[in-house]
Every structure is written in C-alpha cells, then in structure tokens.
Amino acid sequence: MSRLVLTHATAVLPDRILEDATVVAEDGVITAIDPSTPGSAAEGDDLRGALLIPGLVDSHSDGLERDLRPRPGAEMDPHFALTSYEGRARAAGVTTVFHGIGYHDNESKDRSVEQAEMLVRVIGERNQTGAALVDHRLLLRLDARAATALEALKGAVERLHVPGAPLPLVSFEDHTPGQGQYADVEAYKRAVGGAVPTDQLDEYVRRHMERRAGIEWHRDVSVAWLSEQALAGRLRLLAHDPAEVEEIHLRKEQGTAVAEFPTTLRAARAAREAGLITVAGAPNVLRGGSHSGNVSATQLISEGLVDALSSDYMPSTLLAAALLLASRKVIGLPQAIALITSGGARVGGFDDRGALKVGSRADFTIATIDGQWPTVRRAVLAEELQPTSATAARVLESVR
C-alpha cells in the first residue's frame, strides 16, 4: 500500500477551512481528514501552515497551442509541446486539464482539422505512457460553420465514447465577427491585429465576414447533429459565448449542459435559471474585465452566476483569480477554491475529484501566499500514489 500523510496544513474543505489539518491518502484516495496532533509531523510531511487544496481542474485550456507555436512561424514538435505545457500546468497546481482542441478552419488562430486530429492522437499517446504530470482530458471545440470539421468531429466522438466513462465534451462555437464573443467587430480587429498588417486589417475582416456568411447555413446542420447526440447521451454539450436569453433557452432544449463564457449578464442569469453549469474565465477576473468588452466575470461571480473558472489560455491565472476573489471578499475562500476545483470537475462530468473529502482522488495542490499572489509549492497526482502506476519517478528509475 502507498500512503501519503500531509500534516499541519491549512486545508480548504468544500464548506469550511480546517486550520492545522492532517490529510491522509492511501493508494491515491483520501482516507482521512482530521485536526493535527502534537505528533503529526513525525509521521508525515509538515506543511507548516501552507494552503492545501484539491488539485485544480481546468475545464477549458487553449494553452497547449502556445507551446506548439510559441511565435508565428516557429512550430515545435507536438510531443515536446505537450510535455512543455504539462510542466507549466503542473507548476500552476493543475492536476486535471481539458485541452481545447479546435476542430476549426481558422487561419488567424492557426487551427485546423488536421491539427486537431494530430493533437488528439498525441494527447492519447502521452496518457498511455503513465508518466504524465497531469490527467489530460479533451474538450473538442467545433466551429459550427465548418463542414469538414463536423465530419472529423463525428469520428472523434465515436472513438472517445466509452460506455461507463464520462462523456466526450464538445463545445459548439461560432466566432464570426458581429455576434457571440465578437459582437463588437472592433474587438475582433484587436484580437487578430497582431497577425494581420494594419493596412490590410479592415479588408481582411470584411472578407472573413463575407466568407463566414456564405457558410452560415451549416450552423443548423452542426447544431442538429450535436443536439441529437447530446439528447441521446453520447456527448456532453457546451455552448460557447451565449449572449441572449432566447439562445440559452434554445440550447437547453437541444441538450446543452454547460454555458461557457456567457457574454452578457442576461445570458448568465438565463443559464442559471435553466440549470446550466456556467463557466467564466480566470484571466477576466485578474484583468478586471473581458478583453472582448463583454461582461465582467467578477460581476457574474458576485451575483452567484458562475460555477467554474477556467484558465482559457494561462494556467497560472486559476489559483490567483480564486485567491483574489476571496481577498476582495467577493466570495469566501471555500467558494472561490470550488470554482477552480469541484466546479471544473462538474463541467467535465466527474464526481471523483475536486474536493478535499474522504473517498475523493488524492489530487493535491500545496501553495503559499507571498504578498498578493500565490506560489504553488507542490502538486500531487493521485496516480503517483498508486503502487502499480508508471509514474515519472519509476520511469527515471528504469533508465538508470
């Protein structure tokens, strides 16, 4: 049996903070949470009051794209890019990450069907090694106007659907300027401005909008198939950037379970009333607002309209955003930590992680607060505590 004892921790439980706690895990599962005793440090790792929280669950991360292509024209080997991102995520306290895999045809963001298929394969291969530093999961992002993307996505969903396992996650999105995330066309211009010469930007956006208008009909095709699959229980459907009350009601009827990044207060309220799980962006919290000019995540959180925060593109924002919300008394610390742990687990359809409670996976993040910002001192993945797992340590041992 493999056993880990963490003592003298400031443990953030689902409903309270337990000062000077001892948490015990056996074979990758939490088996005890109790107050520390005078002799506790002798039998375990003394955290000396450091913050002990569940491993972070990031329900939407595009960060891998940045490691794959750190600057325009500089493309890295995808296996290396994945391990590079994995290290950054683990250093931020993330133990479960849902990679946003873009089934798109989007030149401005370097997304394509071919790249999506390649990344799904590479992530699967990394998981099979047993040496990954995080639990890699997939969030398949479908451009609803792209016919070739839908056909490829159908095959991916078929391959990823495993009876008894959490359903494949699919996010339906349409980033056409003038609606959704980019209702403000000027915000879209700012978003793509770095990839397009300034004197060509207006013409680029005009042509892009015309091309997208010509394939708008495919939205209905995509949504019909996604709805059919969601209602049949073959995938878990997420609506990306909903803006209107009517849209929320329609998506609910179509089998949507999650509203990702609602762009307006009215859409977020409608999502709550409809019983949808709602995700907002941690970078939005840290920046004090949306980079696209949409609703503030902090405002939504203050009104009780957010269930989970995702990193979107920067894993280190998760813990920082949660602690900032707590320090500003927007919400309490247990509620803030839930946004980046159990909230993300709910998005993914998991009930085995995201909380410090007996019976949960022993995924841990240990952090200190230095000045205003957190420093992650250590992260633990449950698989590393299982005696039969092929952890990185065992891999290293095998090559000595």
What are the structure tokens assigned to 306, written together? 């957010």
Distance CA 326, CA 332 (A): 5
pLDDT > 90 in the chain, percent: 72
Is residue 60 classed as helix, strand or coil in its secondary structure? strand
Delimiting residues of CATH 2.30.40.10 domain(s) in the chain? 1-53+354-400
Asked whether the predicted pLDDT for residue 116 surpasses 60, the reply is yes
Architecture of domain 1-53+354-400: Roll (2.30)
* Interacting residues of 372 by C-beta distance below 8 A, sequence separation 6+: 324, 327
The strands making up 56-61's β-sheet, listed across from edge to edge, are 56-61, 94-103, 135-143, 169-173, 236-240, 256-260, 277-281, 308-310
CATH topology of domain 56-353: TIM Barrel (3.20.20)
Asked whether the predicted pLDDT for residue 287 surpasses 90, the reply is yes
Cα end-to-end distance, the chain, whole Å: 25
Q: What type of residue is 193?
A: G
Name the band, by pLDDT with cuts 50, 70 and 90, for residue 400.
very low
Whole-Å CA distances, 323 to 24, 66, 380, 390, 397 = 25, 25, 20, 34, 38
Structural contact between residues 36 and 52, judged by C-beta atoms closer than 8 angstroms: no
Delimiting residues of CATH 3.20.20.140 domain(s) in the chain? 56-353
308 strand-pairing partners = 279
Structural contact between residues 167 and 236, judged by C-beta atoms closer than 8 angstroms: yes
Of 276, 267, 213, which Cα lies nearest the Cα of 245? 267
Asked whether the predicted pLDDT for residue 309 surpasses 50, the reply is yes
Whole-Å CA distances, 223 to 146, 158, 190, 226, 228 = 12, 17, 29, 5, 8
* pLDDT tens figures, 237-282: 999 999 999 999 999 999 999 999 999 999 999 999 999 999 999 9
